[in-house]
Amino acid sequence: MPEGILIDYNDGRPAMAITAGLRAPSFCTSFAGYGTGANQFQVNTPLTSGSTVFVLPTRPVDVQEFADNQTWIVLPIYMTSVTRNGDNGVTVNGTNRGNYQRIPNWAGTVFEILPAATYNEGLLVSNSTDFTAISNQARLMTCAYVGTVTVNGSDGASRIRNTIREVG
């Protein structure tokens, strides 16, 4: 097992081991609303050079209803991929069964996995995210809720979503 730093609060939660190769997610932005093009949603947010970006969808499917040649269409438009736009954001791409060119109503959160930092002094856990450097550009995450949540079909997911927030 790699060597590093072990943080254990001894309160029933899993211990955190900061070891070689560990990467930390960094919050970039949340998005919601209508897309910027046919089956697309462009999200403009600054990204760190060399980071790996991912989108956590909170509304990945938009079901639209409309008439086409006197036929009522019920069309789900769903997310299919994410394209990075340099260090300026991402484009969320989607599709639908009828290949209609529709503007989707999606929502989600953009995160990035920060690259390993390289410095010559300080505490080093090799090949890992720099946990000690907090710059004026940093967007940090913290745990807002610890506990067990049971989703019973009524409202559990919205309570979970409302506990996620940006700290800064």
Amino acid at 29: T
Total Cβ atoms within 10 A of residue 21: 12
On the question of pLDDT at 135 being above 60, the answer is no
Nearest to 85 by CA among 53, 108, 109: 53
Burial class of residue 57, CB neighbours in 10 A (0-12, 13-18, 19+): middle
pLDDT band at 82 (very low <50, low <70, confident <90, very high): very high
Q: How confident is the model at residue 33 (pLDDT cuts 50, 70, 90)?
A: very high
* Pairwise CA distance, residues 64 & 70, whole Å: 16
As a dihedral over the C-alpha atoms of residue 116, residue 117, residue 121, residue 126, rounded to 10 degrees, the angle is: 0
Tokens of 164: 């996620």
In this model, does residue 60 exceed pLDDT 70?
Answer: yes
Residue 143 has pLDDT above 50, yes or no: yes
Tokens found for residue 133: 């450097």
Question: Of the given ranges (9-13, 48-52, 69-73, 103-107), which has the lowest mean pLDDT?
Answer: 9-13
CA-based torsion, 20, 124, 51, 45: positive or negative: positive
- Residue 116 confidence (pLDDT) above 80: no
The proportion of the chain whose per-residue pLDDT surpasses 70, expressed as a percent, equals 68
Indicate whether 95 pLDDT > 60: yes
- For residue 55, pLDDT over 60 is answered with yes
Q: Which helix (H) or strand (E) holds 32?
A: strand 25-34
DSSP state of 160: H
Q: Which of 75-89, 96-110, 137-151 has the lowest mean pLDDT?
A: 137-151
